[in-house]
Amino acid sequence: QEVTLRLHQFLPAQANVPAKILDPWADKIEAESEGRIKIERYPAMQLGGTPPQLMDQVIDGVADIVWTLPGYTPGRFPRTEVFELPFTSLDSGATSRAYWTLGEETMFDEDFKDIKVLGLWVHGPGLIHSKNPIVSVSDLNGVKLRAPTRVTNGMFERLGATPIGMPVPAVPEGLSKGVIDATVIPWEVTGALKVPELVTNHLEFGLPALYVATFVLAMNKDRYEALPDDLKKVIDNNSGLEFSGNAGAQMQADDAPERAKALELGNTVTTLTEEQVAEWREAAAPTSDAWVEEMTGAGMDGAALRARALELIDQFAEN
Amino acid sequence: MQRLVELLARAMAILGGLILTALVVLTCVSVLGRGLNTLGHSGFLEGLAPGLAAALLGTGVGPVTGDFELVETGVAFAIFSFLPACQYYGAHATVDVFTSFLSPRANRVIIAFWEVVLAAVIVLITWRLFEGMQDKMRYGETSFLLQYPVWWGYAASLFAAVIASLVAIYCAAARWIEIVTGKRLMPAGEGAVH
Amino acid sequence: MTNLELGYLSFPVLLLMIFLRAPIGLAMLLCGIGGLWMVIGTPNMFMSKLKSETYTTFSSYSLTIIPMFLLMGQFATLSGMSSSLFKAAESWLGHRRGGVAMAAVGACAGFGAICGSSLATAATMSRVALPELRRYGYSGGFSTATLAAGGTLGILIPPSVILVIYAILTEQNIAKLFLAAFVPGVLAAVGYMITISIYVRLNPDSAGTREPMPYGERIRALLDVWPVLLVFMLVVGGIYLGWFTPTEGAAVGAAGTGIAALLSGNLNWQIFKESIIATATSTAMIFFIVLGAGLYNSFLALSQVPQELSNWVVSQGFSPWTVLAMVLVFYLAFGCLMDSLSMILLTIPIFFPVISVLDFGMSAEHMAIWFGILVLIVVEVGLITPPVGMNLFIINSMDRQTPMVETYKAVMWFVTSDILRVILLVLFPAITLFLID
Ligand code: NA
Ligand code: NA
């Protein structure tokens, strides 16, 4: 082959995202390039470093392609946070398409100017997994909770929880040792982290989702630019809006089997009614307002970003 | 000169050790806070003395916010601060069974050679750390909960790494001067305890 | 040259550097960046990696446990816990034939329960027990060999720095590994005591005896070890019962022994500084090796050596037990030359994928824990095998009159006991695993 690309990411090869999104994507590119592109896959941080370093690795060319969370490096990708605000995301496929579209409109020349973005998506609706039952906002009072990003940490702090910062792999041990009483993650990864064995309560909010986290599949800019045009085209054909939407939809589809397993274990899965959710929405609203204010203070039009994000999500959700 | 370098290496190690001690205390306080918080939430105390449970929680007792990230930032500085002493006391793990057949002078030359390579690598690490710090400044990356700039940690570590570079360069030079002049400038290498 | 060939070539190059007395961490780091340079064709990759890799390696939350455990060992030494342990063991065992040596082993086991390092255990207990052994007429080589072997209990009995590293490399639960190490650790102590009693029967001149102590005194001596028991229960018990994470446990242990040292009156500013310097040099040495191993392993991953090696083993159709035996013999052989930590960091990323695809008739987690304990024991044997055994060096440096050869001769008895124990644990995995179920 002409080009060998190293794809580096943090999950083991058999996890949902590598197995169902990244591998098929890479296989397809290899096939469509008729073997001229080879994508070497390095799961579980095999090329060294920690997950927050993935973004630097792709910028510096340590890896050619990485899959990571912008939220792992707080402060660096402020605009992506708009999709993480409470009660924003609808169907993950739609939100992912909106994320890609807003990305094209506002982020590629700003937040993502150092990388070639191949895909932008969000996971299925995030929910609260807790040892003690949580139904109303007041049940969160003083609960030690691990959240994935700056925005979600801020939200749970406002809701009365005590946010605990720890990397995702530390969640099982944290739960079993009482370092945390609760965590928020989508269903899709609960099995891998053994969460249903460590807690007995799961609180669902329906749609819009309480929160989602954003992902990015990124390529080294010089590496992309150096490709011959026909190979660039192979990459482009497999990236962008459609790919992002499908990736988001796939992650949401991977939620159901894990949810079923938690029920099988005898855990309690509570889905709040619309009236019950209203209280949460009200309590979480200041988080979005504060975010808008913060962005505006940093010289971005926070209100416009938020309005556009919501508009795009609605638009894609209707189709 | 030797006295000064020794003082520098020891001072850095002790500074790092004080930070490490502070992290020990911070972690214990966090564990204690968490324990009291859990007690306040426990059905046991709520049933026994609801007022006490509420009062306990009312004090806002809980784990130290951001203890994970503070430990991570602090321990990076501590370990960079430990490097000068490791250099000065020649505490790196080595295998000397094969070279022990050679003459003492040949051994001294070999040690001095590696000392130069080691110094070069530590200088390289320091230079790259400086570049890394500039990246973090440019990107405005912050910590997770307390949201202090990540480059602060890099800057503190860079300070220690610069000292480590200076000590490493001195040690490399001193080993060669020892060989040439026969004067003793460095403590005899002592195997590290691990 | 293909990447794979580069990967295989790096082994002899690395060993050559190490045998030419390069600091081990430095040798791995050089092979790592040299390999990355050759695979990529430019230095860009390792230069970029170094921008953040040193910092993130040094700022790892889970590795923070290492300096904290080392500090805990330092404070435990100062607080007089080592001598009260030895006194207690000696008062009960000292009058038997070989009893003072047995007491030294028992005290090492006790100290191992609050110290995560073998060399620290060996050094500390030698300071206390060596003069006593010589006073009661124990021969030089037998005394030093006993303490060198006893020192390995520092790592075999939890807490243990090497197990922490293994747990992080293989993503296993530290608490479960600690628990699994407990019975094999106690077996080690018992094995050493049996070795001592056989040795003194075959070499009656090598040990003297003393008068039995009155029971009142024995009980008093036993009661004096309560701080050790308290710290062990707090740290290992607390980690296992889920009161805190291993790093938090290490912090609690360091604080606890620190307070004990303060109360004992042995801790002043001058001594505190020396404890810090000792912790500092060991910590820096360990983290420099971790850094070098990280870079070297990135290169190996890029060269595909671990995958190819594991494919090869599978394609050869070796029985799992043959592969396991080969790996353990490899560790024993290399343990004669290298220190345990470097070996673990260097080899686990290569061997673990190979072993984990083999079927030993147990779950993946059980296999990982059982293999970890076996590896822990064989690399620890390396600390007392001639010619390079760090424990032997440490203790010989504290007892200059005893020629190294005498120590070498006597220590082979303890090595034999270790090898028999490894065979026992290989044949009966349940000895290691029953506690974690
Ligand atoms: Na131990
Ligand atoms: Na050895």
Torsion of Cα atoms, C393 then C63 then C235 then C179, to 10° = -80
In angstroms, the CA C94 to CA C210 distance is 7
The alpha carbons of chain A give a radius of gyration, in whole angstroms, of: 19
Chains with 3+ CB–CB pairs under 8 A to B are: A, C
Considering only CB atoms, A53 lies closest to which of C52, C242, C245, namely: C52
Amino acid identity of residue A243, one-letter, is F
**Cα distance between residue A122 and residue C2, in whole Å:** 39
Q: How far is the CA of C127 from the centre of ligand 2 (A)?
A: 22
Rounded CA separation C170/C177 (Å): 11
- B95 at C interface, C-beta within 8 A: yes
Sheet holding A214-220, edge to edge: A37-42, A3-8, A65-68, A214-220, A115-122
The CA–CA distances, whole Å, from A39 to A7, B80, C162 equal: 7, 37, 36
Residues of C in contact with B167 (CB under 8 A): none
| pLDDT band at residue B191 using 50, 70 and 90 as cut-offs | very low
Task: Name the residue facing C285 among B35, B153, B194 (closest C-beta).
Answer: B194
Nearest Cβ partner for B93 among C23, C251, C255: C23
First-residue to last-residue Cα distance in chain A: 40
Domain spans of chain B? 2-181
Q: Are A38 and A23 in contact (CB under 8 A)?
A: no
Q: What does the pLDDT look like over B46-105, one tens digit per residue? A: 777 778 777 777 777 889 999 999 999 999 999 999 999 999 999 998 887 788 889 999
CB contact B118 to C (< 8 Å): yes
Rounded CA separation C16/A308 (Å):
62
Residues from chain A that touch C243, judged by Cβ atoms under 8 A, are 177-178
Q: What is the number of residues in chain B? A: 194
Minimal Cβ distance to A49: which of C49, C173, C242: C49
Nearest to A74 among B34, B62, B141 (CB): B141
pLDDT bracket for residue B32 (50, 70, 90)? very high
Tell me, in angstroms, the distance from the centre of ligand 1 to residue C236's CA: 10
How far does A181 lie from chain C, in Å, by closest CA?
13
- Given this model, what pLDDT does residue B189 score? 53
C21 touches chain A (CB under 8 A): no
The average confidence (pLDDT) of chain A is: 95
| B194 pLDDT higher than 70 | no
Whose structure tokens read 């500092």? C280
Per the CB < 8 Å rule, is C52 touching A49? yes
Q: What would the mean pLDDT of A207-225 be, rounded to a whole number?
A: 97
Q: In whole angstroms, give the CA distance from residue C38 to residue A212.
A: 42
Banded model confidence at residue B190, pLDDT cuts 50, 70, 90: very low
Residue C90: burial class (beta carbons within 10 Å; 0-12, 13-18, 19+)? buried
Question: What residue of A is the nearest CA neighbor of B139?
Answer: A76
Measured CA to CA, the distance from residue C339 to residue A304 in angstroms comes to: 61
Between CA C407 and CA C396 the distance in angstroms is 8
Q: How far B185 CA lies from chain C's nearest CA (Å)?
A: 19
Helix, strand, coil percentages (3-state) for chain A, rounded to 5, are 50, 15, 35
- Rounded CA-CA distance C422/C324 in Å is 12
Give the list of residues 6+ apart from residue B20 with CB closer than 8 angstroms, or none.
B74, B75, B78, C67, C68, C71, C276, C279
Q: Please say whether the beta carbons of C289 and C345 come within 8 A.
A: yes
**Cα distances (angstroms) measured from residue C259 to each of A245, C85, C245, C399:** 58, 18, 21, 31
Percentage of chain A with pLDDT > 90?
A: 88
Q: Which residues of B touch C243 (CB under 8 A)?
A: 31, 35
CA distance A17 to A102: 23
CB contact at 8 A, A38 and A4: yes
The one-letter amino acid at C78: L
Q: Which of A259, A140, A272, A253 is nearest to A190 (CA)?
A: A259
As a whole number, mean pLDDT of residues B142-168 equals 97
Local structure of B98: helix, strand or coil:
coil
Share of chain B above pLDDT 90, in %: 70
Cα C359–chain centre separation: 27
Neighbouring chains of A at 3+ CB pairs within 8 Å? B, C
User: How many Å apart are CA B156 and CA B144, to the nearest integer?
Assistant: 19
CA distances C59 to B30, B31, B82, Å, are: 19, 20, 13
Give the side-chain half-sphere CA count within 13 A for C141.
Answer: 17
Angle at C92 between CA C88 and CA C95, to 5 degrees: 125
Sign (positive/negative) of CA torsion C257, C263, C266, C268? positive
* 3-class state of residue A144 by DSSP: strand
CA C407 to chain centre: 20
Q: Which of C306, C247, C249 is nearest to C59 (CA)?
A: C247
Strand arrangement, sheet containing A201-204: A162-163, A144-146, A182-185, A127-130, A201-204, A268-271
Distance C108 CA to ligand 1 centre (A): 9
- Say yes or no to pLDDT of A193 above 70: yes
pTM: 0.93
Whole-number CA gyration radius for chain B: 24
Q: List pLDDT tens digits, range C320-376.
A: 999 999 999 988 888 887 777 878 888 888 889 889 888 999 999 999 999 999 999
Q: What are phi and psi of A91, to 5 degrees?
A: -50, 135
Instruction: Give the distance from residue C64's alpha carbon to the nearest chain B alpha carbon, in angstroms.
Output: 7
Interface contact B76, partner C, CB < 8 A: yes
C65: its two tokens: 């446990």
Contact B89, B189 (CB under 8 A): yes
Supply C127's token pair: 């300071």
Per-residue pLDDT tens over the stretch A23-81: 999 999 999 999 999 999 999 888 989 999 999 999 999 999 999 999 999 999 999 99
Q: Is the sign of the CA dihedral A187, A191, A196, A199 positive or negative?
A: negative
What is the token pair recorded at A28?
């397809």
Distance CA C134, CA C140 (A): 7
> Quick count: other Cβ atoms within 10 Å of Cβ C25?
29
Tokens of A53: 């370093």
Please tell me which residue, A7 or A193, carries the higher pLDDT value. Answer: A7
B and C: number of Cβ contacts within 8 A: 208
Q: What is the pLDDT of residues A220-278, one digit of tens each?
A: 999 999 999 999 999 999 999 999 999 999 999 999 999 999 999 999 999 999 999 99
B95:C338 CB<8 A: yes
Confidence check: pLDDT of A88 > 60: yes
Q: In this structure, what are the phi and psi dihedrals at residue A41, rounded to the nearest 5 degrees?
A: -105, 125
> Which ligand is nearest to the Cα of residue C182, counting in written order?
1
- Cβ of C53 and A6 within 8 Å? no
- The per-residue pLDDT for C240 is 80
Mutate to test the interface with B, among C15, C21, C36, C390 (most CBs of B within 10 A): C21
Residues of C numbered 43-62 whose beta carbons fall under 8 angstroms of chain A's beta carbons: which are they?
44-45, 48-49, 51-53, 56, 60-61
User: What pLDDT band is residue B17 in, cutting at 50, 70 and 90?
Assistant: very high
- Among C83, C376, C173, C152, which Cα is nearest to B194's? C152
Question: Contact B143/A164, CB-based, under 8 Å?
Answer: no
Chain B: residue whose CA lies nearest to C155? B194
Q: What residues does each domain of chain C span?
A: 60-267+304-436
Q: 3-state class of A181 per DSSP? A: coil
Instruction: Encode C185-205 in three state secondary structure.
Output: HHHHHHHHHHHHHHHHHHCHH
From the CA of A120, how far away is ligand 1's center (Å)?
A: 48
E strand intervals along C63-197: none
| Phi, psi (degrees; rounded to nearest 5) at A299 | 90, 15
Q: What is the pLDDT of residue C13?
A: 96
Rounded CA-CA distance C290/C288 in Å is 5
Residue C120 Cα to ligand 2 midpoint, Å, equals 17
Q: In the predicted model, what is the mean pLDDT of chain B?
A: 90
Cα–Cα distances in Å, from A85 out to A237, A286, A288?
31, 10, 6
- AA letter at A117: V
Q: C18 forms bridges with which residues in the sheet?
A: none
B176–chain A nearest CA distance, Å: 36
Confidence of residue B140 (pLDDT cuts 50, 70, 90): very high
Low-confidence ranges of chain C (pLDDT < 50): none
Task: Say if residue A178's pLDDT is above 80.
Answer: yes
Give, in degrees to the nearest 5, the angle at Cα C82 between C76 and C88: 135
Bridge partners of C297, per DSSP, are: none
pLDDT at residue B193 tops 50: no
Is B177 in contact with A105 (CB distance < 8 Å)?
Answer: no
Ligand with smallest separation from the Cα of B95: 2
Using a pLDDT cut of 70, give the percent of chain B over it. 96
Interface mutation target, options B39, B46, B134, B141, chain A, most CBs of A under 10 Å: B141
Which of A73, A150, A162 lies at the smallest CB-CB distance from B62? A162
Q: Residue B49: what pLDDT?
A: 79
Contact status of C297 with chain A (Cβ, < 8 Å): yes
Taking the C-alpha atoms of residue C7 and residue C380, their distance in angstroms, rounded to an integer, is: 27
